């Protein structure tokens, strides 16, 4: 029987009470490697409540202390690089080098977040107007939610979302991609091992119905999602929203290019990660004078 994954709330892996499960496949072999829960609405509410409860203590933690914990997160990513890389390769189907690159991008995002004492510095000016000085502070806001795509199970949630979110003193409910959640669960344990307090990061897998609960919940102050519809719903509910939508990428190939190297770059851009990335090349415009040579080189 396939392994049934748990969800991660308040520093604990919990068994879901759901009756709906997502089959997880190894794209390289086609075998079913486990099942992820479609967490119930109550379980998603538990995650939001845990993040809300953790927020006062975490936001009051000095920025330098939060940075020190993230330094430990970085160390553990390096120590567990092979385990994390294998997880990405097995659940996402990337070759080893691309899987390792996915994890390394999570490390880089963590390194950026360790600079939070500088990144969160405010500004001040004396005599902005006669008799008035101005001061600006940067403060955390509360609970944020991240809705993760299937194609980068390490980089996007744990390079772009989690490190900067918690470094700034916010807490996070992460909706892992339902078809590639194992890497997210490994990272959840890694963050706990690094000293991130319980409730600061919570990881669930669920359907769009439970996502609506996240989008509409008054305690969730901001969303980092994929997709226009989620952006529209988040904005309609008055939440900050940073949407990751597909780019439309063009290559312009001119006659003075290094043809062989350019063709190799175009192929890598279009088909690296099996084309499953927002920056995948979708259109190539080639100068007429070298169009036939370009096609022949492909």
* Residues with catalytic roles: 278
The distance between the two most distant Cα atoms of the chain, rounded to a whole number of Å, is 74
Cα gap 66→85, rounded to integer Å: 26
Task: Enter the tokens of residue 5.
Answer: 């994954």
Q: What is the CA radius of gyration of the chain?
A: 22
Q: How far is CA 170 from CA 61, 71, 221, in A?
A: 11, 17, 10
Bridge-based pairing of strands 123-129 and 32-37 is: unpaired
Task: Let me know: does 284 contact 253? Beta carbons within 8 Å.
Answer: yes
Q: What are residue 253's DSSP bridge partners?
A: 286
Q: At a CB cut-off of 8 Å and minimum separation 6, what does 296 contact?
A: none
Using alpha carbons, list the distances in angstroms from residue 274 to 18, 95, 104, 240, 278. Answer: 33, 10, 19, 32, 12
Coil, strand or helix at 228: helix
Bridge partners for 250 per DSSP: 283
Residues forming beta bridges with residue 283, ordered by sequence position: 250
N-term to C-term CA, the chain: 45
Strand partners, 78: none
Which residues have CB under 8 Å from 16's CB, separation 6+?
6, 7, 37, 38, 39, 40, 43
- All residues at 6 or more sequence positions from 224 whose CB lies less than 8 Å from its CB, including other chains: 144, 145, 146, 147, 160, 161, 165, 241, 242, 243, 244
């Amino acid at each position: 029987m396939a392994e049934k994954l748990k969800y991660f709330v308040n520093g604990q892996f919990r068994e879901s009470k759901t009756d709906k499960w997502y089959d997880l496949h190894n794209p390289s072999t086609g075998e079913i490697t486990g099942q992820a829960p479609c967490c119930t609405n109550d379980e998603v509410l538990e995650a939001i409540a845990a993040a809300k409860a953790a927020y006062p203590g975490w936001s009051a933690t000095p920025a330098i202390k939060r940075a020190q914990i993230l330094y430990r997160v970085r160390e553990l990513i390096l120590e567990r690089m092979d385990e994390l890389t294998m997880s990405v390769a097995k659940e996402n189907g990337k070759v080893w080098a691309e899987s390792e690159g996915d994890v390394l991008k999570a490390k880089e995002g963590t390194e950026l977040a360790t600079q939070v004492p500088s990144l969160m510095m405010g500004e001040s000016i004396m005599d902005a107007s006669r008799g008035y000085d101005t001061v600006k502070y940067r403060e955390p806001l509360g609970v944020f939610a991240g809705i993760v795509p299937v194609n980068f199970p390490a980089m996007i949630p744990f390079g772009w979302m989690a490190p900067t979110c918690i470094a700034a003193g916010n807490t996070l409910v992460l909706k892992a991609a339902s078809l590639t959640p194992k890497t997210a669960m490994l990272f959840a344990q890694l963050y706990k091992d690094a000293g991130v307090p319980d409730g600061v990061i919570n990881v669930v897998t669920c359907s769009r119905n439970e996502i609506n609960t996240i989008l509409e919940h008054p305690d969730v102050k901001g969303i980092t999602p994929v997709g226009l519809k989620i952006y529209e719903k988040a904005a309609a509910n008055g939440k900050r929203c940073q949407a990751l939508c597909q780019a439309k990428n063009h290559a312009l190939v001119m006659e003075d290019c290094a043809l062989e190297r350019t063709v190799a770059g175009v192929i890598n851009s279009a088909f690296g990660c099996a084309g499953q990335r927002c920056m995948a090349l979708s259109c190539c415009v080639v100068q007429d004078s070298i169009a036939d040579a370009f096609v022949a080189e492909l």
